[in-house]
Structure 1
């Protein structure tokens, strides 16, 4: 016990002095760092402290899910401190590393496994996602033109931002790889009179998107299929992929780009909207185990390298890091207002898991190494593209029916 207390004290001394906090221990003892703590982390038992010290974020996450850790105060401050202490760099035993490797092999996003990975996260039920997403169930970074903007209009502005980058026009054919619940396709068809195809591996997403498309009278313009991107055929004027590349996997990045290149017409534009990092680093074990099996956050250099090798010329790169932090804040706040419903739909441990996922992800974008990249690219060279970005920020003229 003395060793555990000493190690906790050592952690306090390494901490950011700008973040006052305290630990409340299972024996009633309180260890403080600074006055007026921003948060108090309560250890219900000695095991919780030992697991946090031994396995860092993996141990913290599992103990929090189980209720062995409680937090009084601000999650943002807690995770900012955790990032400063590099808590995301888990210390794993040889057995844990072996177990992680086995999970990696089992969840490798091959053609046969990718669908199972996606369904584990995205088929929790549309009612569950309605607890924190906007009514369109758009599950990706919004685009905020002002800080007090509501989530619904910010998601529409994200789609508007993307369509301007792609320079969509009536009659264009658009492929959406990983189309989610269909928000991008519906926006594009409603505002630009395009023809579109979306593919997803989630039956819940496909059913929801098809229903919305029918209700909006867009069935003759766009369609959604339950299909792996590797099985799509044809050629398209424009291609977009929003929040799907994180599920492609490290081993399949070049295969993804090769498929995109084969589907995009010469001179056509594509946009990749993905979470990533500045430099390559492994995804943390807690997220791989409990949130995104088979996931991988690529570095910007990995993305651009794979694009370049497959004949995709990069035209524009934008980092929307703080936009995603704010999006996650709004999701997490809405999730808290529906906390009891979340417990009723799942159970308390699962609700705590999702709270931790949303709050820690926001901190990762705000203080850590997580980024949100939008990469605009062209199939080959197109010398007729605009010389400036003025068209991206110009007011959109409505397309007449």
Structure 2
């Protein structure tokens, strides 16, 4: 390897840490290099088509890695992208690469964060619309019929994606101990799946908050089609603008977007929205890493996102005088959810391309990498997802038996 270009040699030095699994690399000149043990699984093949891939990675780390994939400069030869990324996580290749922060990468990160920092409501609105206003037709091609874009709950390996999402909603309803006639606010309500389920099965009066015009329009249509307009209301506004008081509070897959400097603001708002003796549920991605939102994800997928650590959530709940009642990690369930989404995405690529000229090959490679890399991170990386149940009193008032919220006999 001594005669190889510096950037290529550097990448292979990182691959030399691979012990769990076997990786073959074919470079643009046709040279083959191997790493790991040939008698272990998985056995993967990284095909590099463009020499610029190496310089991109050494200069811009995960950002360069992702952009090179989007541009078609490299592939896993058998399309086992998730397994390749999982191998890099398991062998700590990512963590060792991230220890080297170059000046160009640092400047890219700073520039992107300044543009998307969700301190201002307008920035939060722009960040949400960038990802969630791609079009309802786009999301309908890989989500389930409930249009749920958050972690499902798998009870058996044969559970469909829709079943997983309904089991998630049922679990949350039971944790919140919902009763007919109670008021429920959902911050970051998406297409209204949680509120529709809670209104149909538990008779609550729901209010949903979203910043996405596309989501709100379809959520209102779905609510009307189910005859629930007298029970469920959707509002387009920032959580910081939301007023009123409610019996129960829920936020599913939204907290990752509020930004580090707004963690305490969000918790204080949750406390203000809850009636005395009210109960809330926060369902959010967390991380065990010091890197909260990688530069590629920040630039192309979730601008302004910032994954919290569990300790930060508990700290700010306590500061807002909210008491943690129960905490559950759903990490493996999100890996399975992302697998379903990725499979659906691949199966519907031609239909996706027909929706818009913007959904070209580069866009589709970008989204495929996102879906595969998140599945890998929930399987073998530092990403976790927690459901944190909390209440505003000093005394426990829930009648929910803990644990054991969900049996296999769930409402359909």
With structure 1 as the length reference, what TM-score do the two structures score? 0.94
Aligned mates of 2:44, 2:316 — CA distance in 1 = 43
Aligned mates of 1:397, 1:290 — CA distance in 2 = 38
Q: What does residue range 115-154 of structure 1 map to in structure 2 within 5 Å?
A: 115-154=125-164
Q: Which residue of structure 1 lines up, in the alignment, with residue 242 of structure 2?
A: 232
**Cα distance, 1:111 vs structure 2:** 1.3
**Cα distance, 1:113 vs structure 2:** 1.1
Cα 1:265–1:21 change in 2 (3 A) is same
Q: Which residue of structure 1 lines up, in the alignment, with residue 322 of structure 2?
A: 312
**Cα distance, 1:148 vs structure 2:** 1.3
**Cα distance, 1:394 vs structure 2:** 5.7
Q: Which residue of structure 2 lines up, in the alignment, with residue 69 of structure 1?
A: 74
**Cα distance, 1:385 vs structure 2:** 2.4
Q: What does residue range 116-195 of structure 1 map to in structure 2 within 5 Å?
A: 116-195=126-205
Cα 1:193–1:5 change in 2 (3 A) is closer
Query: Are 2:92 and 1:85 aligned?
Result: yes
Equivalent position SS for 2:146: coil
**Cα distance, 1:391 vs structure 2:** 6.5
Q: 1:39 aligns with which of 40, 44, 53?
A: 44
Equivalent position SS for 1:359: helix
Q: Deviations over 1:310-352 (max 9, x none)?
A: 0100000000000000000111011111122333431100100
Aligned mates of 2:394, 2:409 — CA distance in 1 = 26
Contact 1:280 1:298 in 2 (8 A): no
Cα 1:395–1:95 change in 2 (3 A) is closer
Q: 1:377 aligns with which of 363, 366, 390?
A: 390
Equivalent position SS for 2:240: helix
Q: Which residue of structure 2 lines up, in the alignment, with residue 22 of structure 1?
A: 24
Q: What does residue range 1-400 of structure 1 map to in structure 2 within 5 Å?
A: 1-16=4-19, 18-33=20-35, 34-35=37-38, 38-73=43-78, 74-83=80-89, 84-87=91-94, 90=98, 91-109=100-118, 110-278=120-288, 280-344=290-354, 345=356, 346-386=359-399, 388-389=401-402, 392-393=405-406
Cα 1:67–1:337 change in 2 (3 A) is same
**Cα distance, 1:70 vs structure 2:** 1.7
**Cα distance, 1:387 vs structure 2:** 7.7
With structure 2 as the length reference, what TM-score do the two structures score? 0.92
Contact 1:279 1:301 in 2 (8 A): no
**Cα distance, 1:189 vs structure 2:** 0.3
**Aligned residues between the structures:** 398
